Structure 1
Amino acid sequence: MKHDISTVEMEELSAYFETEEGSRLLNVLLKQHIEAQGDNVTSDLQQQASRIKNAAWSNIESHIREANNSIKQNVFRIYNWMPYAVGLLVVAAVSFLFLNRHYKNDTENLLVEENRITPGGNRATLILADGRTLSLDEKRKGIVMNDDGIIYDDGKSIILPGEGRVSESFTLTTPKGGTYELVLPDGTKVWLNAASTLTYPGRFNTNERYVQLEGEAFFDVSKKVKSTGARVPFIVQSPTQRIEVLGTAFNIMDYADESSSRTTLVHGSVKIHAYSSSNQAVVLKPGEQSVYAGDLLSKSKVDTALFCAWKNDKFLFQDTKIKDALQQLSRWYDFDVVYEGTIKETYFYGEFSRKSAFVDVLKVLEKSGIYSKLKVDGKRRKLIVSM
Structure 2
Amino acid sequence: MKDINSSFQAAQWISNYLKHEITAEERILLDEWLKQETWHQELFNYILTEKNLTKDLLELSDTDTETRLSMIQKLIRKNRSPIRRFILPSLYIAASIFLVSCCVYFWHHSGNWSRSPHSVTDVFPGNNKASLKLDNGKTIVLDSTRESIIVQNEGIRYNDASKIITDHFKAQYYELSTPTGGQYQVILSDGSKVWLNAQSKLKYPSKFSKQLREVELEGEGYFKISNKGSSDEANQPFLVKTRGQIICVLGTEFNVSAYADEKQIKTTLVEGAVRITNPLMPLSQQSVTLVPGKQAILEGNTLKVKDVDVNSAIAWKFGLFRFQGTRISELMHYISRWYNIRIKMQGTVGQQKIFGEIYRTYTLSQLLVVLNELEDGKVKFILNKGSDNNYEILVKTNP
Is the pair's TM-score, using the shorter chain for normalization, greater than 0.5? yes
**Contact preservation (8 Å) 1:199, 1:212:** yes
User: Which residue identity lines up with residue 383 of structure 1 in the other structure?
Assistant: I
SS at the partner of 1:162?
A: helix
Q: Kindly provide the CA deviation profile for residues 180-225 of structure 1, in whole angstroms up to 9, marking residues without a partner as x.
A: 0000111110000000000111111111111100000000001168
Quote the Cα distance in structure 2 between the aligned partners of 1:211 and 1:127.
15
Q: Is the 8 A contact 1:240 1:254 kept in 2?
A: no
Structure 1 residues 211 and 230: alpha-carbon distance in aligned structure 2, compared to 1, 3 A threshold: closer
1:145 aligned onto 2:151 = yes
Contact 2:257 2:267 in 1 (8 A): yes
Superposed displacement of residue 146, structure 1: 0.5
Q: 1:129 aligns with which of 120, 135, 143?
A: 135
- The amino acid that maps onto 2:379 is I
Work out the CA distance in 2 between the residues paired with 1:286 and 1:344. 30
1: CA distance, partners of 2:193 / 2:250: 14
1:295–1:214 distance in 2 versus 1, CA, 3 Å: same
Q: TM-score, normalised by structure 1?
A: 0.67
Give the whole-Å Cα distance in 2 for the aligned partners of 1:206 and 1:122.
32
Structure 1: gaps (5+ residues) = 1-103
Structure 2 residues not aligned, in runs of 5+: 1-115
2:207 to 195, 203, 206: 203
Residue identity opposite 2:393 in structure 1: L
Contact 1:225 1:232 in 2 (8 A): no
Paired amino acid for 1:374: N
My pick for the range that moved more, 257-266 or 364-373, is 364-373
Say if 1:227 and 1:358 are closer, same or farther in 2 by CA, change over 3 A. closer
Match of residue 217 from structure 1: 221
Instruction: Select 1:273's aligned residue among 266, 277, 302.
Output: 277
Instruction: Give 1:163 deviation, angstroms.
Output: 1.9
CA–CA separation in structure 2 for the residues paired with 1:233 and 1:133: 30
Alignment of 1:1-387 (within 5 A): 108=118, 111-112=120-121, 115=122, 117-165=123-171, 168-223=172-227, 231-278=235-282, 280-343=286-349, 345-368=351-374, 369-371=378-380, 372-376=382-386, 378=388, 380-387=390-397
Distance change >3 Å, CA 149–CA 228, structure 1 → 2 = closer
- Give, in angstroms, the shift of residue 277 of structure 1: 3.9
Helix, strand or coil: the match of 2:167? coil
CA distance in 1, matches of 2:207, 2:392: 42
Quickly say closer, same or farther: Cα 1:228–1:376, change in 2 above 3 A: closer
Equivalent residue of 1:194, what SS?
coil
Shift, 1:345, TM fit: 2.5
Per mean C-alpha deviation after superposition, the further-off stretch among 261-270 and 360-369 is: 360-369
In structure 2, what is the Cα distance between the partners aligned to 1:144 and 1:379? 40
Assess if the C-alpha contact under 8 Å between 1:276 and 1:296 holds in 2: no
Worse-matched range after superposition: 228-237 or 141-150: 228-237
The Cα offsets for residues 115-151 of structure 1, whole Å up to 9 and x where unpaired, read as 1x10110000101122111110000001000012100
Q: What SS is found at the alignment partner of 2:333?
A: helix
TM-score (norm 2): 0.65
Say what the alpha-carbon RMSD is for the aligned residues: 2.3
Change (3 A) 1:211 1:379: farther
Structure 1 residue 228, shift from structure 2 partner: 9.8
Alpha-carbon shift at residue 381 of structure 1 (Å): 3.3
Worse-superposed segment, 277-286 or 321-330: 277-286
Aligned equivalents of 2:389, 2:181: Cα separation in 1:
15
Contact 1:150 1:159 (C-alpha < 8 Å) held by counterparts: yes
Task: Look up the equivalent residue of 1:319 and give its one-letter code.
Answer: G
Quote the sequence identity (%): 37
Q: Secondary structure at the match of 1:283?
A: strand
Matched residue pairs, number? Answer: 276
Change (3 A) 1:174 1:229: closer
Distance of aligned partners of 1:380 and 1:270 in 2 relative to their CA distance in 1, 3 Å threshold: farther
Q: Distance in 2 between matches of 1:353 and 1:234?
A: 32
CA apart distance, 1:229: 12
Question: Matches of 2:330 and 2:280 in 1, distance apart?
Answer: 24
